[in-house]
């Protein structure tokens, strides 16, 4: 469902409470995202989201650059002979006790799959001499690190609420500069969407008198 459609649903409900109250799309969207992010994080912890493929965004062409292992900012990885780091930061991820919300990291045709690791796990496995040079990935600060590979372009599937950023990171994607941010899909489980809308309406209804006007100079409530 488009972000615009969900925002309009919230506005319609809120205007029944205050017909003359002007409301910022930016503020409504931020509350919607905050509510959905919290609930998705809980579902990730329960491992009940992987059946819902429509939640995940795909970056079909994500670029990496070779890292000098001696200068790698993750000390534990300096023993690895081959390290690649993403050229750009990933869109904002959702985290749970199991880590980030990256589902798949692979080469472009998905014939080689990378396995998630951490610096601690990587160092521990090396000490156990369980080193058969598997393909591994690790995310820190929004950047993706690949181990035991020199792959310069990869395929990423992840869960993020920032679908616009995910789309713009795809090096194969033609950028549509005229596309409004509100025309991108609002990511969220269908099972959670109604709950998120109700919680958003409730929070804004309780605090709407404190909402500040949009700082955009165009005074256009359809801008974000």
The whole-angstrom separation of Cα 148 and Cα 107 is 13
Of 27, 54, 26, 3, nearest in space to 179 by CA: 3
125 within a domain of the structure (yes/no): yes
Number of domains the chain contains:
2
Residues 27 and 64 in one domain: no
Mean pLDDT of the chain: 86
70 and 117 both lie in a single domain: yes
In a domain, 184, yes or no: no
One domain for residues 31 and 77: no
Let me know whether 34 and 45 are in one domain. Answer: yes
Residue 130 within a domain? yes
Beta-carbon contacts of 15 under 8 Å, excluding residues fewer than 6 positions away, are 21
Q: How confident is the model at residue 223 (pLDDT cuts 50, 70, 90)?
A: low
Within a domain: 82: yes
Per-residue pLDDT tens over the stretch 81-127:
999 999 999 999 999 888 899 999 999 999 999 999 999 999 888 77
Would residue 222 count as lying in a domain? no
Q: Which residue has the tokens 């029944």?
A: 16
Residue 91 lies in a domain: yes
Q: Which domain holds residue 93?
A: 55-169
pLDDT for 108 equals 95
Percent with pLDDT over 90 in the chain: 56
> Is the pLDDT assigned to residue 173 strictly greater than 90?
no
Statement to judge: residues 81 and 153 lie in one domain? yes
pLDDT at 148: 95
Residues 103 and 160 in one domain: yes
In a domain, 39, yes or no: yes
Same domain, 104 and 11: no
Question: In the predicted model, what is the mean pLDDT of residues 56-67?
Answer: 95
- What does the pLDDT read at residue 157? 95
Q: Please, are residues 110 and 102 in contact by the beta-carbon 8 Å criterion?
A: no
- pLDDT score recorded for residue 51: 67
Domain annotation covers residue 203: yes
Looking at the structure, tell me whether residues 141 and 69 fall in a common domain.
yes
């Amino acid at each position: 469902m488009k972000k615009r459609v969900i925002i309009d649903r919230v506005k319609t409900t809120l205007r029944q409470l205050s017909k003359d109250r002007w409301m910022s799309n930016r503020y409504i969207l931020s509350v919607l995202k905050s509510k959905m992010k919290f609930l998705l994080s809980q579902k990730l912890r329960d491992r009940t989201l992987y059946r819902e493929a429509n939640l995940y965004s795909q970056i079909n062409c994500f670029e990496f650059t070779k890292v000098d292992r001696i200068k790698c900012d993750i000390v534990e990885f300096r023993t690895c002979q081959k390290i690649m780091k993403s050229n750009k930061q990933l869109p904002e991820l959702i985290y749970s006790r199991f880590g980030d919300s990256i589902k798949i990291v692979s080469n472009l045709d998905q014939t080689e799959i990378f396995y998630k690791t951490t610096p601690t796990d990587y160092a521990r496995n090396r000490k156990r001499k369980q080193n058969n040079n598997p393909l591994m990935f690790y995310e820190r600060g929004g950047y993706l690190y690949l181990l035991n590979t020199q792959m310069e372009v990869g395929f990423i599937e992840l869960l993020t609420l920032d679908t616009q950023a995910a789309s713009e990171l795809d090096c194969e994607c033609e950028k549509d500069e005229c596309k409004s941010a509100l025309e991108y899909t609002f990511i969220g489980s269908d099972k959670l969407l109604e709950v998120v809308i109700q919680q958003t309406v409730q929070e804004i209804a309780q605090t709407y008198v404190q909402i500040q006007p949009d700082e955009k100079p165009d005074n256009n409530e359809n801008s974000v």
